[in-house]
Structure 1
Amino acid sequence: MMYHGTAFAAGFVLDLILGDPETWNHPVRRIGNLIQKLTDFFLKRGDGISDSAVRARVKRKYGRLLVAAVLLVSGGGTALLLVGAYTLHPWAGCALEGWLTYRLLAARNLRDASMRVYRALQSGSLKDSRYAVSMIVGRDTTVLDETGVTKAAVETVAENTSDGVIAPMLYMALGGPVLGMMYKAVNTMDSMVGYRNDKYMDFGRAAARLDDGVNFIPARISGLLMVAVAFLMGFWDRLRGFEQIYSGRRAFRIFLRDRRKHASPNAAHTEAACAGALGVQLAGNARYFGRVVEKPTLGENLRPVVPADILRANRLMLGTAVLCECICLGTMGLLL
């Protein structure tokens, strides 16, 4: 537990300092490559079946095989590396565990990506800000105005606080990088094959349902932690005599009211908490591949969304990450 706690803390600090340099190979990219190869292999066999009912059944079976194979490789490979390192020397294992923990967290990367949008907005270039936000969202960005770009960046920071930071942190606190790598594998599979279209409806069903399952508790914990951070930040602003932007009470109320306003059972929890904390309205209709998709709004339109809200959303995200890290380390300390 001492080595695990040390690696857990070191990985978090490394993520905040180093982020995700583009020139470094990321383990999740390797998982993505494996998913793509297996997907091509399985779909090629499933698509050749003429009977639609049989084809759907076979694709669902192949989808379950994809999940099993990817989890086995990602979790088993990570476990073998760690066992080998710890067998060599406990501190060698601790160092590898810390490095893997760092690579599976995305707080700094999420902040850096959203800050590129903020700097583009500050420079006055709508074209550059649209391009910057297109790198972190899936919607059409060419039609967005400054407010639309800002909202997209804030929503991305808020939503990814859960699946990019808190969820992997919680799973690594429980099972180290092995469980963390398996969580990222599920998350990656869902992002690649978990679509409700003709190609992936049956094949990606197992991955999508598993992703909903593994994110169910972390999403709710993330939302509650963000509400707690909003209370702390609001108190800190009052203590210093600053204008109070953050409201924990409003964050909690909007979290309870709007957290289920999403097609996914998990996606809106931190986004609702963020909207409430900042007193702005997020989400709403968005354009994807030339088609407008109607979505409910989250929060209350107490004031317009401004570029500075990207900074505020990042403070909420980082505060939530620090609070979760402290709780996890405190729990580990009690178990020593």
Structure 2
Amino acid sequence: MWDAITLLLAVLWDLSLGEPPTLIHPTVWFGRLIGFLDEHYRRRNPKVDFLAGTLSSLLVVAFALVLSTLPRFLPKLPSLVLPVYLLKSSFAIRSLAEHVKNTIKEDIEEQRHFVAMIVSRDVSGLDRAHLNSAAIESLAENTNDSVLAPLLYFLLFGLPGALVYRAVNTLDAMIGYRDERHEYFGKFAARLDDALNFIPARITVLLFLPLNPRKVLSHWRKARFKINSDKPIAAMSAVLGVWLEKEGVYRFEGREPTLEDVRRALKVYWIVVGEWILTCLLLLTPGV
């Protein structure tokens, strides 16, 4: 029962206050720790780089586990408040919506600026439709990464599960690239993130199903471009009826996405998030 209360309070915290200050945000700590290790490790050869990256990643995961155990060593009141704070830091409902909402700009250069803040691709040459697509894709993918997955691991493993997932997802965002610097150093983090997101990404699709069952299933069957990230994107494309494309990587068919479709995507997002929060609360409440 206490887990349900912790989750409810964490969600209310997120919706009313948003993200904690950067200085005391655990996700920022995870990022800074792996950033420090990445910056100061001098590359040698593939095997040694892989080992160094694995050990660095495990150190960040261990840090997340230590953070998750802190409440049990504190006096009663802090031990009740800290789990709410730590759980809230593992997901970002309001912040994700706000970042995507910021991309809804009539001025294309202004839109390009805000889209660049939420995607890793180069947006300098993207036209309006591809900017809209990028914003919607980011929203769909992060519905899993920033909301569903951390709460799923909270359901399964409590606070340690949520924080470890957030640490791994942060590792992947920081070093999980196939560039020359991170090809081997970030390989373990990238593969671990793939493994942890395999089930959540598919559960995310299930939450889209009630909005257009036949089309979501059709798009889902075609989502074979990536291990996980294209699954929620396929579902969002199906519900909105628009094409979503990362050039050279994937494309889901539909009509051209507009600024209004970004607004519609946000409405879909809130429905899916509401479904998931309600599901979590029901599963955490005894006797329901």
For the criterion TM > 0.5, the same-fold answer is yes
Contact 2:11–2:88 (Cα < 8 Å) also in 1: yes
Instruction: Give yes or no for contact 2:22–2:28 (8 Å, CA) kept in 1.
Output: no
Equivalent residue letter for 1:170? L
Query: What residue number does 2:155 align with?
Result: 173
> Residue 58 of structure 1: which of 44, 48, 59 is its match?
48
Name 1:241's counterpart in structure 2.
none
What is the match of residue 36 of structure 1?
35
Counterpart residue number, 2:124: 142
Note if contact 2:134-2:246 (Cα within 8 Å) is conserved in structure 1: no
Work out whether 1:279 is the aligned partner of 2:241.
yes
Match of 1:186 in 2: 168
- What is the CA distance between 1:222 and its match in structure 2? 0.8
1:259 to 212, 218, 223: 223
Matched to 1:115, the amino acid is K
Amino acid in the other structure paired with 1:144: L
Q: Distance in 1 between matches of 2:271 and 2:287?
A: 25
Aligned to 2:4: 5
Instruction: Report the 3-state secondary structure (helix = DSSP H, G, I; strand = E; otherwise coil) of the residue aligned with 2:285.
Output: helix
**2:267 paired residue number:** 315
1:82 maps to which of 48, 62, 71: 71
TM-score (norm 1): 0.81
| CA drift at 1:326 | 1.3
Deviation at 1:335, TM superposition (A): 6.2
Post-superposition Cα deviations, 1:174-233, rounded to whole Å, max 9, x if no partner, equal 2233221111111111111111122111111111111111111111111111223x2xxx
Separation of aligned partners in 2, 1:160 and 1:12 = 16
Structure 1 stretches lacking a partner, 5+ long: 48-54, 231-246, 286-293
> 3-state DSSP class of the match of 1:117?
coil
Given the two structures, how large is their TM-score scaled by the length of structure 2? 0.94
Unaligned ranges ≥5, structure 2? none
Q: 1:94 to 1:322 in 2, by over 3 A?
A: farther
2:242 alignment partner AA:
V
For residue 69 of structure 1, report the CA deviation from its aligned partner.
Answer: 0.9
CA distance in structure 1 between the partners assigned to 2:126 and 2:195 by the alignment: 33
C-alpha separation in 1, matches of 2:62 and 2:250: 38
CA contact (8 A) 1:6 1:94 kept: no
Provide the identity percentage: 32
Letter aligned with residue 75 of structure 1: L
Q: 2:232 aligns with which of 270, 281, 288?
A: 270
Q: Are 2:124 and 1:151 aligned?
A: no
Residue 77 of structure 1: CA displacement?
A: 2.4
Which of residues 58, 61, 74 in structure 2 aligns to 1:68?
Answer: 58
What residue number does 1:236 align with? none
Task: Call closer, same or farther: CA 1:24–1:37 in 2, change over 3 Å.
Answer: closer
What are the superposed Cα offsets for residues 229-265 of structure 1, whole Å, 9 maximum, x if unpaired?
x2xxxxxxxxxxxxxxxx332122212x222223xx0
Q: How far apart are residue 39 of structure 1 and its match?
A: 2.0
Pair 1:323–1:171, CA change in 2 (3 A): same
- Equivalent in the alignment of 1:216: 198
Which residue identity lines up with residue 36 of structure 1 in the other structure? Answer: G
**1:267 & 1:220 partners in 2: Cα distance?**
10
Q: 1:181 to 1:23 in 2, by over 3 A?
A: closer
Two-structure CA RMSD over aligned residues (Å): 1.8
One-letter amino acid matched to 1:311: R
Shift of 1:22: 6.3
Partner of 2:144: 162
SS in 1 for 2:103: helix
Q: 1:295 aligns with which of 249, 257, 270?
A: 249
Deviation at 1:18, TM superposition (A): 2.2
SS at match of 1:274: helix
Return the structure number with greater relative CO, CA threshold 8 A, min gap 6: 2
**Are 1:4 and 1:97, in contact at CA under 8 Å, matched by a contact in 2?**
no
Give the structure 2 partner of residue 93 of structure 1: 79
